[in-house]
Structure 1
Amino acid sequence: MTTLKKRLQGDLTEAMRAKDKLRSAVLRLTLTAITNEEVAGPRARELSDDEVIKVITREAKKRREAAEAFEQGGRPETAERERAEGAVLEEYLPKQLTDEELAALVREAVAEARAGGAEGPKAMGAVMKIVNPRIAGRAEGGRVAAEVKRQLAAG
């Protein structure tokens, strides 16, 4: 069993003992999502810590999007619960990059892609291919893509 999955299970046990309903519910749902991912496909397998982080990132993104939707729908108390659930999940994710750190990483990747001859529309794919492994879950994909587009447009 991966270290992160063990940590989630241990934290779930603690949350249940402390009668922390919010944390218990979030950790239960997250562990279920991890298990579903493990049994998806032709054969069951155990996820690596990186794959577990991807599942947690996906769950956190769902919470952010739901909070926005509830806020726009005039249900602020439900939106607040979604944000609280997202905050619990954030504890298990790597520290997110600041805008400046992201811009610096993208700048390096743009320079590398251009040195490799990538120009025009092809440059976007080339830059993303270079920058994604360096970011590895520390920034949301939409944020990265927006920064790449911005820097490519700036020339």
Structure 2
Amino acid sequence: MSLKDQITEDMKSAMRAKEAEKLGTIRLLTAAMKQKEVDERVELTDTMVLAIIEKMIKQRKDSITQFEAGGRQDLADKEKAELAILSAYMPAGLSDAELQAEVTAAVAASGAAGPQDMGKVMAILKPKLAGRADMTAVSGLVKAALTH
């Protein structure tokens, strides 16, 4: 079953179980997926769906930070609940050791010699690690590997 089908099934079961919060979050996700399909006239693949979910997760994290800084814990809690629902669709993340191994392999494969080659290394890593690792953290690891 594709990820898109899984999300649709989860939406139906949330409706049946009258889980309003989960249903609302899944509907936001399906709306974002439909928007991408319509805008780009494509049928979404699992990779594309993961990219949408990843973007929504990043938005939730940013919102949580802003709400907590503004003293709006009620809104931060709502965002945290949505974040938990969205995170359930992401594949299991890589461990630090696995991430470091991927970065080392990509640096070797690209023949990168210094920080100026960071783009080459990230171009190799991005498709491999999409949805499985925080790309900001990966970027930091690549920068560290290239400056030593």
Is 1:37 the equivalent of 2:39? Answer: no
**Match of residue 48, structure 2, among 41, 48, 51:** 51
Q: Alpha-carbon deviation of 1:110?
A: 1.7
Q: Alpha-carbon deviation of 1:65?
A: 1.1
Match of 1:132 in 2: 126
Is 1:17 the equivalent of 2:11? Answer: no
Under a length normalisation based on structure 1, what TM-score does the superposition of the two structures give? 0.87
Match of 1:74 in 2: 71
Q: Alpha-carbon deviation of 1:121?
A: 3.5
- Unpaired runs of 5+ residues, structure 1, are none
Dislocated runs of 4+, deviation >4 Å: none
Q: In structure 1, how many angstroms separate the alpha carbons of the residues matched to 2:7 and 2:85?
A: 11
CA contact (8 A) 2:115 2:143 kept: no
Under a length normalisation based on structure 2, what TM-score does the superposition of the two structures give? 0.91
Match of 1:142 in 2: 136
**Amino acid of the residue matched to residue 125 of structure 2?**
V
Q: In structure 1, how many angstroms separate the alpha carbons of the residues matched to 2:78 and 2:94?
A: 25
**Amino acid of the residue matched to residue 96 of structure 1?**
G
Q: In structure 1, how many angstroms separate the alpha carbons of the residues matched to 2:54 and 2:114?
A: 31
Q: Alpha-carbon deviation of 1:37?
A: 0.3
- Unpaired runs of 5+ residues, structure 2, are none
> Cα RMSD (Å) of the superposition?
1.5
Aligned residues: 148
Report matched runs for 1:101-120 at 5 Å.
101-113=98-110, 116=111, 118-120=112-114
Q: Alpha-carbon deviation of 1:32?
A: 0.2
